[in-house]
Structure 1
Amino acid sequence: MTEIAGNHKAGTAGVAVVTGAGSGIGRAVARELAAAGWRVALAGRREEPLRATAAGPAAEAAVIPTDVTRPEAVDALFSAVLDRFGRVDLLFNNAGAGAPAVALDELTYDQWRSVVDVNLTGAFLCAQAAFRVMRAQDPQGGRIINNGSISAHTPRPLSIAYTATKHAVTGLTKSLSLDGRPYRIACGQIDIGNAATEMTERMAAGTLQANGRLMTEPLMDVADVARTVLHMASLPLEANVQFATVMATSMPYIGRG
């Protein structure tokens, strides 16, 4: 079901699609964009969390439950956005999943495949659909921002599926940037480390380090991530933040391992 929330007139900043918009980084970014005047399509698997996101400050938000691993669902998402808003100016490719932190030889095929399906195939399907729309629309062009991760650069222990897919997202970003040039389609990537969300609450008990010890790691406000994405999204298409790393200042990243 697709539903429009918000009573304000359409913003002038453009039309954004945010995947994984029902919680955490996706919710924070969607609300930041909406507050800045963007019309935002909220995509995620579950409708109720998307409704909760839409209940925050919003210029205009469309709730569109979507499974990004299914090509037909992604096509339906972008068709719904075009029906409601007429174009797509921004995709924040944010939906992501992880696997249990187990030894490599204990990771099952299904666990591996589920991470690849969301983090890589889902990101590709959404980028492909956005690219198709942006190339054809008038005025032509738009921007895609992929959510990479600190793990797009260096892994945590016991995270081979997540790390491999996030490294692959970097390749996706580079190819999109190159292939989008003739059509005014810019693509950048934000690599995030330790933003305080529901997903990082488990880190309170300590996070496994490369030396085998558990250590409590610093967190940063997720609002700082949202402001960074808004900055990237607000640039003219003649300018692009290719890669941005935003992280808790004292987290173990530089020198990890």
Structure 2
Amino acid sequence: MPGRVQDKVAIVTGAASGIGAATARLLAREGARVVLTDLDAAAGEAVAAEIRAGGAEALFLAHDVADEAAWERVIAAALARFGRLDVLVNNAGIGGPACRPDEQGLEDWRQVMAVNLDGVFLGTKHAIRAMKRNRPRPGGSIVNLSSILGLVGGTRSGAYAASKGGVRLYTKSAALACAREGNGVRVNSVHPGYIRTPLAEGAFAQHEDPAEARRRTEALHPLGRLGEPEDVAYGILYLASDESKFVTGAELVIDGGYTAQ
């Protein structure tokens, strides 16, 4: 049986680990040809090699998502290799230091915005341009990774929450613009709760007692645990597939009940 994204061409940023790696593996397993990007070239190439060993097509590219010229090179490479672009998963992101608003450094703030928000803007901009050139029918699906902290605040996560809230509303604006133009491009955001990723582990490590920080975080979710990267990857797969052809400008919350309280 054909896969759920059979023969689609997908770019996944931040694909060397965590949600990005799980998403790249799942899209490939469901029939996509995948371009993985990340700053961590060794880990990213390892994931791409694993995908190729499983019989799917995968290409890894080193990529700074805050650099517009880098985006132009990545899109051009995807088009040169596969001839089209059907899916973009804007997953790359950083947490920044945990601190109170009056302790926030301007450079740290700008770095979080550059990766988490500028990166999504640049990827969306250049993906739309590529997807509009698809033939015989223009269009595609852009999935932007926001967070539960794009929906609710955090006392020590101001920069991160601001960047992810920006992703949420930028996604809606881009979705509306594409829909009104009738170019066939859908744009949606995904809002994970705390997921067992290197980013989460890094946040726990900033606490005096990382194990206790993990236990407290698990208890915030009514399901009583952290999410797994695959929990989010399956939601992204749905938005990348034609099963969601009537879904745009939406927020898919995958948070173990965190925001239902």
* TM-score range for the pair, normalised by the shorter chain length: 0.7 to 0.9
Identity %: 36
Shift of residue 195, structure 1, vs aligned partner = 1.7
Which residue of the partner structure matches residue 105 of structure 2?
108
Shift of residue 200, structure 1, vs aligned partner = 2.2
Contact 1:67 1:73 in 2 (8 A): yes
| Structure 2: distance between partners of 1:113 and 1:245 | 26
Which residue of the partner structure matches residue 133 of structure 1?
130
Which residue of the partner structure matches residue 247 of structure 1?
255
Contact 1:142 1:237 in 2 (8 A): no
Query: May I ask how many residue pairs the two structures share in their alignment?
Result: 238
- 1:153-201, CA deviations, whole angstroms, 9 ceiling, x for partnerless residues? 0022211100001111011110111111110001111110022222223
The one-letter amino acid of 2:252's match is A
Q: Secondary structure at the match of 1:18?
A: strand
Q: Secondary structure at the match of 2:50?
A: coil
Shift of residue 55, structure 1, vs aligned partner = 2.8
The one-letter amino acid of 2:187's match is C
Equivalent of 1:235 in 235, 239, 242 = 242
| Structure 2: distance between partners of 1:90 and 1:48 | 24
Asked if 1:91 is matched to 2:91, the reply is no
Q: Summarize the Cα distance change of 1:12–1:220 in structure 2 as closer, same or farther, 3 Å threshold.
A: closer
| Structure 1: distance between partners of 2:217 and 2:164 | 23
Q: Secondary structure at the match of 1:196?
A: coil
The one-letter amino acid of 1:253's match is T
Which residue of the partner structure matches residue 219 of structure 1?
226
| Structure 1: distance between partners of 2:67 and 2:243 | 32
Higher RCO (CA < 8 A, seq sep 6+): 2
Shift of residue 234, structure 1, vs aligned partner = 1.3
- 1:193-228, CA deviations, whole angstroms, 9 ceiling, x for partnerless residues? 0222222235452449xxxxx824121222111111
Which residue of the partner structure matches residue 158 of structure 2?
160
Q: Summarize the Cα distance change of 1:219–1:111 in structure 2 as closer, same or farther, 3 Å threshold.
A: same
| Structure 1: distance between partners of 2:51 and 2:66 | 29
Q: Secondary structure at the match of 2:51?
A: coil
Which residue of the partner structure matches residue 36 of structure 2?
42
Q: Which runs of 5+ in 2 are unaligned?
A: 205-209, 219-224
Larger relative strand fraction:
1
- 1:55-96, CA deviations, whole angstroms, 9 ceiling, x for partnerless residues? 333411111111011111110010000110111000001111
| Structure 2: distance between partners of 1:244 and 1:137 | 26
- 1:113-134, CA deviations, whole angstroms, 9 ceiling, x for partnerless residues? 0000001111100110100101
| Structure 1: distance between partners of 2:192 and 2:244 | 23
Which residue of the partner structure matches residue 4 of structure 1?
none
Q: Which runs of 5+ in 1 are unaligned?
A: 1-10, 209-213
- Name the TM-score, length of structure 1 as normaliser: 0.87
